[in-house]
Amino acid sequence: MFNKVCIDEVELKGKRVLIRVDFNVPVKEGQVADDTRIRESLPTIRYAREQRARMILCSHLGRPKGKPSPAFSLRPVAEHLSQLLEAPVRTAEDCIGEEVHAAVKTLQPGEVLLLENLRFHPEEEKNAEEFARALAGLCDVYVNDAFGAAHRAHASTAGITRFVSVAACGFLLRKEIEHLGKLLTAPEHPFVAIMGGAKVSDKIGVLKNLIGKVDTFLLGGGMAYTFLKAVGGSVGKSLVEEDKMELARETMKAARAAKVAFLPAADHVVAERIEPNAPTRVVDGPEIPEGWMALDIGPKTREAFAVIIRGARTILWNGPMGVFETPPFHEGTWAVAAAVAASGGTSIIGGGDTAAAVVQAGVSDKMSHISTGGGASLEFLEGKELPGIAALTDKQ
C-alpha cells in the first residue's frame, strides 16, 4: 500500500508550492515535439491552481553537463504549458538565487512560474546539500510529481526533502506507483509479461523479480537472441550479450522451477543490414544464417503471442519486439500492440520506446496505463527502492 502524503492532503491556499515535474521532453527547433509528460503533469498543476497556490515548477531537460546552454532551456516548454493551461506561465533565468527569490515573491495565488533547467547546475545531480537548501528556500510545500526522475537521488528529488516541512507526491507519481505496484502485489491472473528491447542487461532484474508473479513471459527484441544463443541456437549477426548468457540460462532455469512459461520468438524477420525497406526473409526456428540478423519477430510468433495476450487479465509490456523505428521491422511490435489493445485485460506499458511504439501504432488510448518513466519503471519493477519516493513524507 502506498503510504506517502499526497498533494490533496496538504493545505495549499496562498502557499508557495514547489512542484518537481518531469518536463524532460524532446524539443526541436524551439518547439515541444512530444508533450506526453507535460500533459500527464496537468492534473497536479491544475489542482494546485484551483487551491490558489503560488506555484513554482522545476525540472531538468536533457544533459547540459552542469552549465547553462540555450539548447536545453525550458522556455519552449513554458510556452507550450501556457497553451495547455490557457494561462500565462512565467519563466525565471535560473532556478536559484536572488532574482528567482524576487520572482517568487511577486507570484499571486494561482500563478505559475517555471524555473530554468535544474541541470544547469552540477550540484543538482550531485545532490549537493547547499543546492537542495536553496531550492527548499523557495517554498512552503514541496511536491514531487516527476516519476521519470524518482530513481535518481538528486537535489530536487531527494536532497530537498530534508529541508522542507512536508514533501508530498503529485497525482501522476501516485498513479504510477499504484498501477506498477499492483503488478508486484495483486495482479489478476493470467498475468503475461512481454519483454523486448535490445539488451538482457536492461531487463534481467525485472525478469528475476517477476518470476513467481507472472504466468508467462513472451520474449522479443534483441534481448531474445542472448537467450536463444544460450540454449544452443544459431543467431547469425543478431545482437547478443555474450557476458550475459550464463545469467540467461539461470533465469530460464528459475522460470522452469517456478512453472512460469518462458517463450522467446520462434520465427524471425532477418536482414543483412538495418535500413528502411532492406531485403528481408523469415527464418523459422533458431537457425539464423551467418551474415544475417534478426530484426523483428516473425508472423508465427506474432500470432502465438496474440493468442496468449488475448487470454490475459494483466499485461506488462516493456520493450519493442524489433527495430520498430525502421520499416518494415515495426510489424511485430505493431501486431503485439494491437493484441494488447484488444485484450480487454489491464495493460501497463513500461515507458520509453514501448510508449512511443503504442503511440505510433495508434492504440495508446486503449492502454490502461502508459508509464512516463522508462528507467524509473524498470527499477521499480525490479523491486528497488526509488530515492525520490522513499524521501517523501509518510502518512501518519
What pLDDT, in 10s, does the model give residues 253-280? Answer: 999 999 999 999 999 999 999 999 889 9
Distances in Å between the Cα of 378 and the Cα atoms of 58, 127, 191 are 24, 22, 17
User: Which position among 14, 62, 66, 375 bears the catalytic label?
Assistant: 375
Q: Whose CA is closest to 297, among 323, 278, 259?
A: 323
Note the pTM of the prediction, 2 decimals.
0.91
175 carries an active-site annotation: no
**Structural domain spans, the chain:** 7-172, 180-381
232 carries an active-site annotation: no
- Strand residues in 44-83 grouped as ranges (E): 54-58
352 carries an active-site annotation: yes
- Cβ-contact 69, 120 below 8 angstroms: yes
Mean pLDDT score of the chain: 95
Q: Which residues sit opposite 319 in a β-bridge?
A: none
Query: How would you list the strands of the sheet with 216-219, edge to edge?
Result: 261-264, 216-219, 191-195, 314-318, 346-349, 369-370
Strands 27-28 and 346-349: unpaired
| Superfamily covering domain 180-381 | Phosphoglycerate kinase, N-terminal domain (3.40.50.1260)
User: Which position among 75, 199, 237, 300 bears the catalytic label?
Assistant: 199
| Rounded average pLDDT over 268-295 | 93
Q: Is the pLDDT of residue 374 over 90?
A: no
46 carries an active-site annotation: no
Compute the distance between CA of residue 332 and CA of residue 357 in angstroms, rounded to an integer.
11
The architecture of the domain spanning 7-172 is: 3-Layer(aba) Sandwich (3.40)
Q: Which residues sit opposite 91 in a β-bridge?
A: 114
Residue pointed to by grid coordinates 534481467: 204
Residue pointed to by grid coordinates 519486439: 321
Residues in CB range of 32: below 8 A, 6 or more apart: 25, 26, 38, 76, 77, 80
* DSSP assignment letter at 328: T
Distances in Å between the Cα of 193 and the Cα atoms of 196, 273, 346 are 10, 29, 12
Cell of 113: 512560474
Helix, strand, or coil here: 346? strand
User: Which position among 352, 373, 374, 388 bears the catalytic label?
Assistant: 352
| Rounded average pLDDT over 56-80 | 96
User: What is the widest separation between alpha-carbon atoms in the chain?
Assistant: 68
For residue 384, the model assigns a pLDDT of: 94
Angle subtended by helix axes 75-85 and 36-50, to nearest 10: 60
For residue 352, the model assigns a pLDDT of: 80
Same fold, 7-172 and 180-381: yes
| Rounded average pLDDT over 96-106 | 97
**pLDDT classification of 200: cutoffs 50, 70, 90:** confident
- Cβ-contact 142, 158 below 8 angstroms: no
Peptide bond into 264 cis (omega under 30): no
User: Which position among 37, 119, 244, 302 bears the catalytic label?
Assistant: 37
Q: Whose CA is closest to 224, among 173, 252, 264?
A: 264
Opening angle at CA 91, ends 5 and 19, nearest 5: 5
For residue 389, the model assigns a pLDDT of: 96
